Every structure is written in C-alpha cells, then in structure tokens.
Structure 1
Amino acid sequence: MHDSPPSELHSDVPIPNWWRHWWRRQTPTRQDRYAMLAPLAAVLLFLAAIVSAFWYLRLEEMDREQEAVKRDVEYAQQRMRLRLLERQEQLMRIARDISNKEVDAEEFVGRAESMIAQYPEVLMLTWIDERRRVTASYAAPSLSTPQVRTKGEVLRPGETETMYSLARDLQQPVYSQPVAGPDSAGLLQLHVPLADQGKFGGVILGEYSIDGLLRYGVPAEISAKYAVALLDGKGRVLAGTSVPPRNPATQLLPWAAQPNEYEVPVSPVGNGLIVRAQAYRTGLGVIGSGLFWLVGALSAMTAWMLIANWRHTRRRVKVQQALMAETNFRRAMENSMLTGMRALDMNGRITYVNAAFCQMTGWSEAELVGRTPPFPYWPDEDRELLAARLEDELNGRTIQGGFQVRVKRKDGTLFDARLYVSPLVDARGHQTGWMTSMTDITEPTRIREQLQASHERFTTVLEALDASVSVAPLGSEELLFANKLYRLWFGGRAAGHLQMVVQAGMSDAPHPSDEPLDDVDAFVGLPTNSLTSATSENAEIFVPELGKWLEVRSRYLNWVDGRLAQMVIATDITSRRNAEEQAALQAERAQSASRLITMGEMASSVAHELNQPLTAITNYCNGLVSRIRSKQISDEDMLAALDKTSRQAQRAGQIIQRIRSFVKRSEPNRTPSDVSAIVSEALELAEIELRRRNVRMSHYVAARLPELLVDPILIEQVLVNLLRNAAESVEKAERPPGRRSVELRVIPKQVHEQPVVEFAVTDSGEGLAPEVMERLYEAFFSTKPEGMGIGLNLCRSIVESHQGRMQAENIYNGAEVAGCRFSFWIPVSGSGSPTIGKDAGVTTA
C-alpha cells in the first residue's frame, strides 16, 4: 500500500513541461518534502504580512496618542497661566491700595487671610518695605514654622533677596525660579513692587505651593488621564507623579518602552517651571493583542498539521511492516506470559498448556497434554472436590469470578491458585472445549491476611479514641462505620452523624430516595480523587441531647466499595467553651468599668456642661416669676420664655441620656452601624472634655462610607478614650493657643486587598517616648500619675475583637516631634468596597 505522487493527484491542473520533467526526476521522498514545504512557506509569508500590518497600526496609534497628550498639556498650561495671572492681578490691586495709603498692616493681614482661605495654592503673603523688613505677614496653617515670616524680620539672604532686588530694578512683578530641595519641593514666589510717590516702597511677596498649583490648576479630567508633574529648569520633579519606564522585553517596538509624554513651560513663570504629562498605558501593545496571538496560533497549528500529515504518511509504511510480524509476536507473548493457560476438549482431556502452566506445576507439556482426570497436579486430599468442579465446568456451570484451589507441584509441594474458566470457540463460532487460566495467588493471600490483621489493630485504636468517629455515604442514611464513643453518644444509627453535619453547615441535608440522583448527591460527575484530597472543615456546635459542645471536623473520602463518603470526627470541647464564655464575661465587665472610669474622670467637665442649661432654666423661671408678679408680661413673651426654658431642659436631658447610654452595661451587640452616627455620638461626649482643656477639635468623615458590623458603644468607647488622651497630651505639652488642636479623620482604605474603614486621631502634643512606645499596650502601664493603665490595652482588645488593628506613631517636623497619631481600622462587612464620594464634610469646633 503506497501513496500516489502529487503529480498524479493534480493531473487536471496545467503544468509547464519543464516543471513536470523536473518534478518527475525527483525521488518520492523529495516530492513529499517539497509538497510539505510549499504550504509551510505560504503560512510563514501570511504570518509575516499580519505582523507588518500590526506594526503599522501600532505606529499610527502612537502618533494619535502623542497629539492628544500635546493638546491636553497645552490646555492645562493655559489653565495654570490664567490662575497665576488672576493671583498676580489680585496682588497688584493690594499693592496699588498700599501705595495709595488705603491699606494698613492690620487690613493687609485680613485681606491676606481671606485670599489664602479662598485660594489653597497660596501659602503666605508678606508685605516687605524698602528696607527689606517685614511690615505684615500671614501664612496658611499648613506652612511649617521655620518658613513663616514674622513682623519686623529682615528679609533673609538668598534667592528671595535676589528676586527682591530684581523687582526693585525692573519695577514690575517678578517670579522666582523654584528649585527642588532635598526635603521639600520648594515654593514659587511672586514679587510685586510697591510705589511710594514714584519711589520704590517695597514689595508684596506671594508664595505659592507647587503641589497646590498642580492640584488646583490642572483640570481634573487631565489629571485622571495622565501622570501630570511640575518640573524645575533642570528637569527635577517639584510636584506630581511620573510613569515608570515600561519593560522593553514586553514591547515589540524598541521605542515603545518609554511613556508617551509632552512638556511645556508655564507662563508667566518661564522656563523655570515646566508642566509635563505622561500618558498611562492603555493598550497591551502588539504583543498583548489577542488577534495577533490568534493569528500566530492558527499559523503555528497549520504548519504543525502539515508536518504531522507528512509524518503520518511515513508511519503508515512502518505499520504495514509491523503487521507482518504480529503473528510471531503473539506466539512469543503467549509463551512469555506469567499466567498459566490450559485447554480442555469437550470430554475433559488436556489439549494445550503454555510454558507458564508447566513452570507453575513442574510438569512438562508432553506429560500433561492428552491426560484425563484425575490430573497429576491434583492433591490427593482434594481430588473429590476438584473432580466435582471439573464436572461443573464441562456442563457449563462456571463461576464468573473464578474459584480458588490448591495445586500440587511435581516435587509434591502445594501452592494456592485461582482458576478462571471460559468457553473455547473456533473461527466458525463453534465451541470446541474450555480454556482455563491459572494464577498463583500465594503472595496475595499472605498480603490479605496481613491486611486483615492490620485492620483489626486499626479498629482497636479507633475504638479507644476519646473522639467520636463516624463515616456515612453522601445522600444516604446508612452508617458505614462508627467507633465506641459515637455509639455511646448516638447509638448505632446515622441520625447523630447527619445531625452534626447539618448543624455544622458542612453539607445539605439528605434528600428523599425518590428524588433524582443529581439532587441526592451534589458531587455527582466530579472527580472523587480531588475531593478526598481537600482540606477538612471545622465547626463548633452544641448538641442539646448530650448537653455538650462538640468540635466537628469533616472530610470526604472514597470508601472501600468506591462510594464517596463523609467522615465526621467530633471532640468534646465543653470545658473549653465554658472557659471562653467566662473570659468574654470578664472582658465585657472590663469594658463597662473603663467607661465608668472615663465618665468619672470627665465628671467636672460634665458638671460644667450641665450647669449652663440648668442656670439658663433658673434665670428664665426667675424672670417669669418677677414679670408675672408685676403683671408686665404678655402671652407671647411668656410662651417665648417657656419655649426657651423647654429647649434648655431638653439640652440637659440629652446630655444625661448620652452619658447613660455610654456608661450603661450591656451585652456586646454587633449590628450594621452607620459610621457617621458613631463618630457624632463620640464627638458629643469628647467635646466637653476638649472645651474644658481649651483644645480645638476638627474632624473629617468621608462621604458615603459603608456600614460596619460592630458594637457602636464599644467603638464610641475607643474614640472617646483616644480623643481624651489626645487632649491631655496637648495640655501637657503647653502648646500656644494656635497649636492646641486635635484632628479626627475617618476614611476608607484597602489593607491586604480588603476594604476597611480607618479612624485616625492626631494631636499636636509632645508625642511618645521610645520606652513608652514599647510598653504602650501593656496592661496596668500608664504615663499619667492617676492613670490605671487599662485604657489603651482595652481599646486594642476591642478593635481586635472586631478583626481590626490599632497602631501609634509620632509625627515629626524635621527632627522635632510635632504630635502623635493613633489609628485603627475595622474591616467592612460583606464584599462591597468603600465608595469615596466627591464631597466630604469638614467641621471645626
């Protein structure tokens, strides 16, 4: 059997004579090779064309991206230029009013404060006279103390003095060239000259935040599309972000490793301030294109199929040669079999034995062929049994699974064997006798006896366990195995096994037997080997019938009959659960005691807070009595006074109600709670203490925060404790009134790819010493002489009981400690992540 040459297969196609002559001169092997190479070359050319097309489209796409970046950067530059010109015009108006003697130092400070509050990028405005002395100055609160200029201060030498001289010489506004420093991004300065009756009268110095100029000057839609940054004249980043270079190994084009960017100077500053935008990578490129890989894969598969077809043609010739040796191979295989084969005719005479049969019994083929019962390999004591078995074989009463017998060797030794009998049918379909296969099972029998003994030892160990062990098939009420403790607890039925499985939530309850198979067994059709290798499930349940707490562990396994079964191991943990309940009760008592201690420490503040509404009520009542006695009050005035008295009484009642709800002892109750409500309740309690200590309170709560599954009273307790500690730290540091502040921020975050809500309390106190930081959460350790040392330890316990974490850190202004920050986060219940709104409320107390 051979293939026709390709020239004969395509004889209907007109072929030139010289080509046909050359083709016929080639050998069949070469013709097959050429026939395979031609389609393969066509596939490679097609792939090269597709790659070239993708390359060209990528170049076009890069040009479009470059034009878009250039257009957006120029638009952002115009927006920043207009913003700078507007601030410059405002400063020039102030300078003109100062030159006209319409603005003094006090009014300048007021106008500067209004301008800084309205435009966040402006950090400080300073009035400098012609002698380089500061007449008046106002700085934003965010500006660090070393950068703030005070009244009467002489202008510091350096770049500011240089720009001052340049503005004096040019008599027009002059911008400084910002330079990135080692610790900060620097400031952009604008010097606006003052004229005093035609003479130079000093300058108005406006200082801008480079970061604020970028944040409020660049449109939000451009900041969202690009990585926008402000650079100095040497290309160093002053503010903003940069896109890291792409990995050239993943790019088909060599120059595609660099991000698409464009730079332009910011007018009117000049080349000293450059705005740069870098486009984020939005596409996967040529290499990441699915269509590119699809075409490449199809081309590779086509080439592989062509090569496989050629190789298959060559294998067909080899198969023909292999068929010729099949008969000899079968005979050799038969002689090399380890299973003994014996053929009997219809009368029970031996007609054939193979080499393995002779080797097992020790008798030669000549000694066995032609023999009739009794056969020489029958033991004398088993001859009657073997004769009856042979009679059943000849009459067609065979056993499908075979039967076990003893066989005697020629040397008289015995061995165990298993015989399988089947009819011997010739090529015409007629039965000519019986074929018997014999296998030596001496070693399997020994192993089976050892396994039986091992099973007995294993069963003895399970019976002595102090844990209940039970096994039942899925979807059935049959109990496959139960040890002694299980039978003692639940008897010999599967009800206890099923009750533990259902109560622990490890599987659905069994369905009635008349339901379809797919409803009975949820694992039908799945590979059982994957299920049995899965990790076990753990659960703790309470069984009322036993009055015990049980730790239940479950896993799936293949039973000896092939069915998928579930093993349940139950351990008595009643004593451990009782100990845990006692510990939880002690923790709840500690929390309640901490709240009582907190309110005891705040007693004077609460009394002062209650004194105001009570005093107002007394004054209103005394005034009413006096005017009623003198009959000098109308009904409208009396109603107005009574209404004010009622509101003051309600205010006092609300203060008492908040204190009662805070200190009353209750069981922990975790419910979906609103974060804003928790913060509001905590602030109302803490603000009493903060006002008494003359500490300013500000808080920020992000909009549309998700609900938390917490006990709101416990979270309020943590917040009140942290706010009180912050106020005490500020008072202890003896900060000036302008720096006596505490800030509370509540924002959503991602911690280990999990959505959480973070609560952070920041104060302007003296911070924590290193030795205090190491023992901060240690029980009964306190830095206050009257402190008990359980506040922070209890706060951390409350946070960790809600699966959260707490941490503390000092805030530094250079080498100086500027305050301390306590923060903790609580995970968001469910899978929804926090949503950050566009607007958020900030209030200052």
Structure 2
Amino acid sequence: MSLKTSQAPAPIRAPSQRSAVARWWATWWRSLSPNRQDRFAALAPLAAVLLFLAAIVAAFWYLRVEEAYREQEAVRRDVEYAQQRIRLRLLERQEQLMRIARDLSNKDIELPQFHQRAEALIGQYPELQAITWIDETGRILASHATPTITSAQVRVAGEVLHKGETQTVFALSRSTQQPVYSQPALADGESVPLLQLQVPINAQGNFAGVVLGEYSVDNLLRYGTPTELLARYAMTLLDAKGKVLAGVPLAPREPPEWMPGDRRTTAYQVPVSPVGDSLVLRAQAYRTSLGLVGSGLFWLVGALSAMTAWMLIATWRHTRRRMQAQEALVQETNFRRAMENSVLTGMRALDLNGQITYVNAAFCQMTGWTEEELVGQMPPFPYWPDSDHETLRARLQDELSGKSIAGGFQVRVRRKSGSVFDARLYVSPLIDARGRQTGWMTSMTDITEPNRIREQLTASHERFTIVLEALDASVSVAPLGSAELLFANKLYRQWFGSQTDGHLQLVAQAGVLPAGDAGHPSDEDPLMGLPTDSLTSANTENAEIFLPDLGKWLEVRSRYLSWVDGRLAQMVIATDITPRRLAEAQAARQTERAQSVSGLITMGEMASSVAHELNQPLTAISNYCSGIISRVKSGQITEPALLAALEKTAHQAQRAGQIIQRIREFVKKSEPKRQLANAEQMVAEAVELAGIELRRNNVRLTQYLAARLPPVMADSILIEQVLVNLMKNGAESIANAARPPAQRSVELRVVPRQMNGVEGLEFSVQDSGRGLAPEVLERLFEAFFSTKTQGMGMGLNLCRSIVESHQGRMRAENIYNGPEVTGCRFTFWLPLAAPAIDTTNVVANTDSPRTIA
C-alpha cells in the first residue's frame, strides 16, 4: 500500500504545460487522504476490469449484429449482382430478337435466313429454347426450337396461337408496339417452365406480327447467374405467386435445443428486370455464427481479462493513447500525401517573399524539375521562358500584392527539356491553422491540348464554311413547321435571297414533304410541333423541277437531320441541271432525225434493187395480158382459163403494190407505235424487203423460227428496220469476203430466251463473212463509226437505240472454226408483252428450213 501511496503523487511532477484538466486532476488527487488514495487505487483496476468485461460483451454483441447485417447485406448485394447479370443477358437476347424483327419488317431476310439466324442464336445461347415468327393474324409462319424442348411445347408452322396467356400477350404487343415478357402457365405435358418474349414487327408503322422468343427459366438461372454465387447460395427463380420455376430452395430448419443462438436462413429476393414481378430471383444462405453465450472465445477472453487486466490496465491506457495519436497522425499524413499525388493539377506554394516552399508531384511532372530543384527557388524560376521573364515577374508582383484574377490567367511554361506548353494559373491565399496568411497557393493546369483543339475546331469551321459557300449547288436548312431559315449558302442567297420562300418552294414543288402537311395545325403534335405522320413516307428520291422565275431546271435532294439545338430540320440541296436537260433534249431531236435519215439512206441504196424487184411482177402482168389478147383474138380461150389468167395478173399487180407500200412505210418518218406484234409476221415482212439485197449479192437466207412464238410489245416497222439492216450488212460482208457460192448464206433465228429472269424473244442474224476485228468490236455501236467507205456510221447505232428503247439488249460476236473466223453473229433480245401461255415444250419448227435463193 505504501508503494501505491508513494506512486500516486506522480501527477504532481507533471510539466507545467499540461492541460487544465490534468492540473485539476493533480490538485484533486493531492487533496485526498492516503487511505482514500489507496481505496481509489484499489478500486480503479477493478472498475477498469468491469468496464473491460462490459466492453467485451458489448463488442461481441455488436460483432454478432454486424455479422448478421453483413451476411444480409452480402446476400442482397450478390442477389442484385446476379439480377443485373440475368437482366443484361435478357436485354442482349431482346436486342438480338429486335434485330431479327427489324430485318423482317424491312424484308431484308426471308424464311431460310430466319431459320439460319434462329439456329445460330439457339446454338450460341443455351437459355433460348425456341424462336417463332408469327404474322399479324396469330398464324405461325416459321419456328425453330432446340432439340431438348418437349414435343408439347414445339410450335409448328401453319398453326394458330391457342387462346391463353400467349394470345393475350400477343394482343398486348399489338396494341403497345413494344416488346412484352410473359410467364405462361404450364400446360399438360409441359415439365420445363418457359419465359416468353414477344417482339412486334413494325412494317412502315403497321403491325405485321411478332417474333416470339422462348427462354428456359432453368437455363437462364444456370447460365445467367455467376458460378460463385450458385456455389455460395441456393439460387431459385419464382413466379409472382411464389412458385419455384427453377433451382432448389432450402427447407427451413430449426436449431437444436442444446445449441444456443439463432440458425435461421438468410434470404433475399428481387424481381428480375425487364420481366417484372412475374419473375423473382431469390438466394438463401445459412448463418454460421454462434451465439454470444455459446462462444468459447467469449469465456476465454473473459478469463484472461480477469487475470491480466489489473496488471495491464495502466500500460494499456497509456499505450492506447499513444497508438491513437500515432494512428491519427499517420492517417492524416497518408491522406494528405495521397490527395496531393492523385490530383492532376500542379500545386505550388510561395511564401510572402515569393520563395517556393512546396510543389506537388503533378507540378514536377508538368515542368520536368524535381521537388529538390524547385523548393527554395526565388524568381526568376527555372520554368520561366527566357523571353517572358519581365511579363512573368510583373505577374508575380501582382500575385504577392493580392491582385489576383478570379478566372485565372494564361502563361507559357518551359519544361526542363526545353519545350514550352500553355498553362492556366489560379492564385489563392494560403492560410494556416491559426487563420494567418503565410503565403500564396497557385494551381496550374496544362491547357495545350484544349487550345490546340479549339484552334482546329475554328479552322475546321472556316474550311466547312468555305466549302459550302463555294458549292455549285444551293444548300438550305429550315426546321419543320417554321419559317425560320437556319442555314443558306451563297448560291441559295443569290437565287432566293435570305428568306425561306425559296426553301419551301423547292420542298413543295419537288414533293419531298412528309406525308402530313406541316402547315396545318391538325397535322402537328401540339407538344412538339412535329408532323404526326411518319417521316419515312416522305419522298427521298431525287426530283427534277423547273423554276420559271429562275429559268432553270434543278435537281432537288432532301434529308432530315437533328439541328444543333435538338430541333428536327430539313436540308434541301438544289443543283442546276439546265445544261444537261438541254443537251438531252437536243440529243433526242438528233436521234429522231438520224433515224429518219437512216431510213432515207436505206431507201436510196435500195432504189435500184426495188426497180429490179418490180420488174418481175410488171413483166408477168404484161405477159399475162398479151397472152389473153392473142388467145381471145384467136378464139381459143375458155372462160375458166380467162379467169385464171386474170387472177394471176391481179396477184402480180397486188404484189407490186405491196412492195411499194412496204418501202413507203419503212422510210416514213413517224413516232414509234408500240403494240402487240407477231414475230413471224415481222420476220416475213423483213425477209421480203431484204430479199432483194440478198438475191442481188447471191446470198441464201435460212430461217429458223420456234413454234408458237408469243407476241411482243414493239413497233413492228422499227424492228423490221433492224432486221433488214442486219441482213443487208450480212449480205455485204459476204460479198466483200468473196465467199464461194456454197458458203454464201445468212441464217435468221428467232427463239424464246430468258434474260435475268425475264421471258423474251431472241433474234439472231448470222453471216459467213470475214467477221469483225477486235478494235472494230469495241467501237461497233458508236455513232458515226463505220467500216464502209461510203458509210455514215449510224445504222448499227440506231439499231441498238431502237432495241434499247424496247427495253431490249443487242450484241455482236465473231464465229470461229478453230483459230479461223467463219462469220459474225448479231443478236438482240426483246421482252415479251405478257407471259407466254406454253413455253415448256418449245422446239424448232418441224418444217424444213426455208431457203430464199
């Protein structure tokens, strides 16, 4: 006891700088008697031990509560994480089904592509069980399912959705035009619950059906939930009524009577988005902590505390105080260093004399100098550029005198490597803990990159403006439903001024307005001012219009864009195409004249041949008349013989008239008259006209016409002109080649032929001349190109123009017998006026080939 008494006055020797509480405690302790000092000295360790035990009990209780809270919080966090994983997986599948629905609405994919994409998705993602295409009436067009699905759940193409929840959700998707999730009830024969997603197919604003995706709830839980959570908890998926759809829940268990504490199951559940309350994710876990009284650690700590607390209480208290102070100091120092090192802004502290007292790591990194090199420096500082010393010294004097700029100021800073960058400095007073100013704190930010970007944006804007102003097209932008002109380039202002009248005139005359008239309030959304009709119904093709005020033909293009302020605007681009239209009109007139001239040239070339052709029927008429006169005078003719001779005379006269009439029609200038024409009749007329030239050149003509040729929509006179020209060219080629009589032949064939899926007739004229040289084949159909000495180079060019005006095609090729050219073939194809009635058994004419000598 005496020892305790001698030690008790220790606080009396405390230094004078102790706090007032310590001085009060020392005074109060010295005022006590020795007995009371001993009593307090004895009771103090006991009170400390009791407080320690109470603290232990409270700590165990708090730890147990904290542990339970952390378990619950961990379950909630893990469940929400698993819910996010399942949600992201559902949203990814939803996006993929929406892509399929969008492609179906745009008709970018057909039934085979749908099956391929459905098979790929189902094979890649195990939670997808089936993908079905359903039209707007509820009829199944196509369906692809995984082999593991039950036969009762397989959907067959051609079936109609049964009444039930699926049909109800189908109607909801039709009305909302949004994807809808549903959890249908299990029917007879269904053992695996499925989650359904119906994505509507919107074809130009109209409901065109849905794409039905069916998910396996069990696979969604298995593959959508992280594996570590499945191993840690009993994860289950429930419906809105709490029925288990997937997973195995834990059965509730009561703790044994001999085991103190609580062993209740920790569980947490959350609805799965975007499905909603019809699909709930739940996790269950057992708490493994022991009760407070049943913890052996509690009794061990209590016993040890009872034996050692009275020896360690004083040392513990002293050590605790020192550790708390040291920890607080370390934490404060670490926090300050971490904050200084993490900021990207350079910090520099100056004292009142302008000497650097502190720089952070960011400042050193910006300038390239170390902290040891900068701290203690006086102006001029090493990071000042040599050319800016006077300016920066004046700035520093303003800082030290308190004349700082609130928004900061821009300076140039030199790195240790010699490079210079732009920086912005902000200056503020540096105040210590006692409220006194000890210097100035400067923050520095590198603005080199923002300045470069700003300059590039300015230059880009200037280039963009120069390009638009220099365009040879009018460009204007105006918001929908407003008379404001947002942008107009130089050419627009020259044509229409600075108002929107020209823009609206172009839009109205070109027909690029949306389906609804933006000028009527009834067609506008009263909240947004936008047309209520779909913008996709606007005309997006180029339109060619004529403006009388300008006297110009303009090609107008339009598109919709979102303006910088978020408004929907329409951009119209008008290009002057007046020279092109004038050139096209002139070319059309020249072509028409050339066709007429070609016919006249052909008429002139055939004049002598026509005279020879007419000589035969006229000679026959003369002979018939002379014979009749002589036999009548002699009285040797009978009435039947007289009638037969007169009929022959009339036939020859009629033939001569037909030859003259056909030549007149052939060269007559008239507009093309397309009508249903018989191919055999056209060939017969052309052969009869070209026969004169063929006989004059001693060339045989062989015809091959397929049976039952369908009619074509064509101008028969023009097509006859093409055939005559080709046959005449073939005869001249044979004559120029000096072929022997056995090889002087021209073959004309007419057969049905399909081109690019379109039925038509193919006309071909093949001669036995020398063919065409490669350089001639390349320029054969060019205007004014001819291989004849007296040719004008318009015949084949006009022939191709005539064929292409009938939506046909024309080509030429050489005929080879090994390396030798044995002739040339000209072929042109004309589409049918209508599908042929019977073309499955088209064969060559059974008659023998007709030969014209």
TM-score (normalised: structure 1): 0.42
Q: Max radius of gyration: which structure? A: 2
TM-score (normalised: structure 2): 0.41
